Chains A and B, each alone.
Chain A
C-alpha cells in the first residue's frame, strides 16, 4: 500500500497519508489522484464506480465509499484487493469509534487523531492492525472532556498519558478494568434478504444475524452464551475473542469479552421459501390499459409472534418518462419524489398481525420517447421493461422478534464473582427486500 486519501464526494482530498518514497508520493498526489477523480466524475452515478481501477503509471486505485466520504488506497505492488478493502473498512471503523459520526467537518476537526491512527495502522506500507482495542492502547481517544479542557485552559491532560500496549494473551482486553455496575447487553439484529416475484413466490429468503454486545464488566470475566438452535445456523463468523473449539464441540459461544461495544458473531440462516413464510407478505401487480399504467401493491402482516411491524416503507421507482402520477391508499402516508427519476414512497407507521391487508394503487402515464432523440422508437414498440415498473423495495422493522427464531437461552459468567446485569434485545429488519413485477 503506497498512499491513502480521504476524499469528499466532489473529489477534494481532506487527508492524505503516504508510506512510500518521495517520488511515489509526488506521483500519487499529482498524477494518480487527479486521474482517479476524473474517472470518478466520468461515471454518472457515484456508487457505480468499480472499487478496483487500474490507474495510470502502473498504479491501482482501490476505494470504498462510506457516507459522504471516499477512502482511496493507491497501490503499486501486488496485494490482494480484499486486503486493501478490508483495511479501508477497518480505517472507517476505527475513525468512527474515535471521532463518532464521520463527515468532512469531523475529519477536519480531528485531523491529528486521524493522522495518528493512520500512522499506527500501517507501517511503511504493510498493514499492522485495524483492531480498535489494540489501537486504543496506542493512540489516546480524544474525549469531549479532554477537548474542552484543552481548548479552554490550553493544558492538555489526556494525551500526555503514556499509552501502553497490551501484549497479553487477550490483546482485546487489558487487565484491571473496573466498572461500578457490571452490565452486559446483547443485541440480536437480524436482516431479511428476500426476493419475491410477481406471482407471490418467494424466490430467495435469507436471514443474516449479528450478535452485538455491549460489555461493562470488571476484571477478566469469562462468559458462555447458549443459543436455543445453534444447529440452524449454517454459517457463523466470530470475533477473535470467541473460543472456536468450544463452538466446535459444544455449540456454545465461550469468550472473554472486550470492553465496550463489539460484534460477537454473525450468522446466516437459510429460511424456508414457502409462500407465507415472510413476516410481511407483499403482493404486487402491474398492468396497462391503453395509456394508463397501473401498479398495485398489497401488504399483509404475517405472524411475528404478535409483535407489530413498524416503520414499513415501500419504495417504487417509476420509469424515467412517467408523468401525471396518481397514488391512492387508505392508510399510511405517501409521497411522490421527482428528484432524478420519479419514485413513489409509501410509509406506514405500524401494522399489527391480524390486521387487514393494505393496498396501494399507483397510476401513471408514460411520455412518448420523442424528447430523448430516439425518433425511430415509437412508444408502443418499446419493450414493457422500459416503461413498466420492475421492482419495489420494502423496508420494515420488528422489535422483539427474531425471524430465524434464534434466541439466547442463557448467559453464564465464570471466573468472576460479582452480580451481573444482563439484557437481550431482538430486532428484525428488512435488508434487501425486493418485490419483482
Chain B
C-alpha cells in the first residue's frame, strides 16, 4: 500500500513539476508569439535584428528559426540583412528542415556579396547532392547553382553532369534548370554545358522535358541538328508536359519548323477563306507540329493558349487559322489583364488574317465597364474586322458607340465606321461621319473630320458624290463648321482639306474665303490649325503664280491674297508655339514674301516641285522607315521596341533542307484511324531512353499515362478481382431520375453524344488500340497499389489533405 502511495506521490509531484514547466513555457511563448502576432513579427523584424546574432549563435533550433524568420522578413521587405551572413552560414547543415529552407533562402539572396563565406557552405551542399532523398538532392543543387559566385562554377558543372542522369525526374529537372544559370554565371562553361545538355535531350519524363528544352535554348539554340531526332517525340509528348514546359517546347517546335519546312504558301493575307493555298501538301512532320500546337488551344493556362495561337499563326496555312478564333475569344472574356494580352494578339490576327476571326466581331463589342485600354484595343480589332464583317449588327453597334458617354469610345467608333465604309453602305457611313464632324466633343469631331478627309482624298466617295451631293456641297458644309466650336484637330483637318482640294473645280472658289477666315481668327486657333493655315496660305500663293484653275480663280483677288499671305506669315513668325514659327520659317524659305530675297533658280525649281505635286511628297514619305514588325504575342510587340533577348522569327527557308531522320513516327499518326489531333503517347514508349543509366529502372507505366488510363476496364477489374457484374457506383443526380441512369447511359451515349465516332462498344476499351497489348503488363503494378495500401496505416499525405478541408 505504502508502495502505491509513494508512487502516487511521486507521480503527483512529477505532474506538478510538468504542469509548472509547461505553464512557464506557455507564458514565455505567449510573450514571444501569442501577443507578438505574426503580422507584427513581420513589421518589427528589422528593429529586432540586434538579437539575431545571439539567437543564431547559441539558441536552440527553435530560436534559430525565429532569428532566420526575422532575417527573411527583412529580406522580403527589401531591406539589407547581409550583416549576419557569417552566422547564418554556420546553420547550413542544420538537422531541421525548416531552418535549412530559411537558410537557403537567405543564402541565395546574399551569396553574391560574400563569395568567400559562401564557399564555406559548398561542402555541405556537395554532401547533400548524394543524399538518398530526391528532394534534398534537388534542393541542394538548386541552391548551389543559384549562388552567383564564379569560383564554384566548375564544381556545379560536375554536379549537374552527375545529376543529369539521376533516377528522379525532379532532380533531372533541377539539373536542367541549373544550366541557364551556369551559362549566365560564366560564359566560358558553355562548351562543357553543351555536351551535358545534348545528352539530356533524351529525357523521357514529362516532368523534366520542359526544363531540358529551356536549357538547350540557353546553351545552344542554333544547333538544329540536335533537334532532328527528338522532333516527333516532342510533338507527340507536348500535350502531357507540365504547362510551362508546354510553352517552352512549343516555342522550340515553332522556330524549328520555321527553319526546316517549306512555307505553307504566301497567301496569308487573303480575305477569302475558301481560297486554297497554292502550295502542295504540307510536310507530314510540319502537320504533326500543327496538330500538336492545336491540341494546346484547349489548355486552361492562358500562356499556353496564346503561345499556341502565336505558333499557329506562324506555321499554319491561312485556312487553318480559324481554329485560333475561339480560344482567343475565350481569353478576351477572361480577367482584365488576360484580356489585355489576348486583345493584343487578336488585333494582330485581325489585321493580318481577318478571315480567321470572321463571325466573332460580337465578342469584341465594347462593354460600358471596360477599362480604357480594353476599349481602345477592342475598337481597333473591330476596325480591322469591319471590312470583312457583316454590316447589320456591326453598324448598329457602332452607331450606339458614337453616342457613348466616353469620348474615346466614340472616336474609336468613328474609325470603325471609316473602316467599314465600303461598297453600298459607303454613302451612309460618309453622311454619318459628316454629322459626327460637328460633334461637340473635340476628339470625336477630330476623328470624324480625319475620316471625312481620308474618304474624300482616296476617292472612295467619288461615285457617291455625283448622285447625292457634290464636292462643292461637302466643302461648303465643312467650311461652315469653322464657325462652330470645332476642336483644334478638326479645324486643322478642315483647313488641310480645303488646301488639298484647292486645285479642284469647286475647291478653288472658296479657298480664299477660308484663308481669310483663318487669318482673322489666327490668334485663337490651336497649334495644329495654325500650321495648316500657314500651309493653306502658301498653297494658294503658290497656285496663284501658275496657270492652273486656281490661278484663274484667284486672278481678280491677287492683291487680297498677297496681303493675307503677308499677314498670316507675320502672325506666324511671332507665334508663341515654336512649331508654328518653325513651319512658317521653313515655308517662307520655299515661297519667299515679296520683300525677301529671291530664291536661287535651282531651289526655286525644287520648291516648285515639292509644292506642286503630291507625288513628290508621297515619294518623300515612302523613304521613312516602316515600323518594324514583331512576333505575335511578344513583349516587343506590346511595347513597339525590342528588349534584349528578342529574337525575330526566322523566315521560311527558300529551299527547305533535305529530309532528315526525325526519329520514329508515333504509331498513332501512322495508324491514324482517329482524328488527326489524337496523338498516342503509347507509340513513343519505345523511345531511346538509356534506362540502364538510372539507379532504379522506372516502370514503363510511370511514364505512359495514356496507356495506363486507356487500358480496358476488363483488365483493371481482373486485377482487382472484381466480378464484371458489379454495377458501377450508382449515380444519383439532382433532376435526373435515378432509375433511368443506367439505362440512359448505355442508350444515350451511343447515339447522341458520339455522333462521329465509329460504332464501338465501351468507350474506354475502344479508344486506344495501340496500347491494348501492353496495357496488361503496365496496368498491374499501378493497380495493385491501392490494395496494398489498404492494410497499412494511412500515409502521411492524408494529413495534408485533411488540412485542406478545414
Contact = CB atoms under 8 A, between A and B. Distances in A.
Contacts of A436: 368, 400
Chain B interface residue number, banded: 35 or more
A51 B300 contact: no
B301 A86 contact: yes
Among B722, B754, B797, B805, the one with the most A-chain Cβ atoms within 10 Å of its Cβ is B797
B90 interface: no
A411 B365 CA distance: 38
Nearest to A390: B405
Given A50-B373, A51-B341, A80 B716 contact: no
A365 to B, nearest CB: 18
Contact of B340 (A50, A128, A236): A50
B78 A204 contact: no
B298 to A, nearest CB: 5
User: Secondary structure at chain A's binding surface: helix, strand, loop or mixed?
Assistant: mixed
Interface string A154-196: 1110011111110111110011111100000000000001010
Chain A interface residue number, banded: 35 or more
Contact of A208 (B333, B636, B803, B804): B333
B702 to A, nearest CB: 6
A432 B369 contact: yes
Given A169-B702, A249-B767, 4 more contacts: A14-B77, A110-B38, A130-B243, A156-B98
B133 A115 contact: no
B705 A169 contact: yes
A250 B753 contact: yes
A322 B608 CA distance: 58
Interface string A108-126: 1111101110010001101
29 contacts: A14-B77, A50-B340, A78-B642, A80-B303, A80-B634, A81-B340, A82-B306, A82-B342, A119-B108, A124-B145, A134-B242, A138-B135, A154-B29, A156-B62, A163-B97, A203-B362, A203-B365, A204-B363, A227-B753, A236-B298, A246-B763, A246-B764, A250-B763, A261-B804, A266-B330, A390-B368, A411-B731, A419-B729, A419-B730
B755 A231 contact: yes
Interface stretch (A324-332, A342-350, A356-364, A421-429): A421-429
3 closest A-B pairs by beta carbon, nearest first, are: A219-B786, A143-B803, A391-B368
Given A108-B42, A204-B365, A383 B678 contact: no
Given A18-B109, A86-B301, A156-B65, A131 B243 contact: yes
A409 interface: yes
Interface in A374-391: 376-377, 381-386, 390-391
A21 B101 CA distance: 21
A376 B405 CA distance: 19
A413 B728 contact: yes
A108 B101 contact: no
Contacts of B214: 126
Contacts of A111: 42, 72-73, 76
A82 to B, nearest CB: 4
Contact of A248 (B97, B341, B674): B674
A102 interface: no
Contact of A86 (B303, B705, B767): B303
A60 B736 contact: no
A76 interface: yes
Interface in B326-364: 326-327, 329-330, 333, 335-338, 340-342, 344, 362-363
Contacts of B757: 249-250
Given A175-B785, A237-B300, A416-B786, A216 B805 contact: yes
Contacts of A299: none
A112 B34 contact: no
A383 B26 contact: no
Interface in B293-314: 295, 298-303, 305-307, 310
A83 B793 CA distance: 42
Interface string B372-410: 110000000000000000000100110010011100001
B797 A176 contact: yes
Contacts of A146: 803
Contacts of B722: 417
Given A176-B785, A244-B239, A434-B368, A140 B78 contact: no
B247 A83 contact: yes
B531 interface: no
Contact of A432 (B101, B133, B367, B755): B367
A151 interface: yes
B733 interface: yes
B362 A112 contact: no
Among A63, A410, A418, the one with the most B-chain Cβ atoms within 10 Å of its Cβ is A410
A124 to B, nearest CB: 5
Contacts of B706: 243, 245
B306 A409 contact: no
Contacts of B734: 400, 423-425
Given A21-B112, A154-B33, A390-B405, A124 B749 contact: no
A383 B754 CA distance: 56
B327 A52 contact: no
Contacts of A432: 367, 369
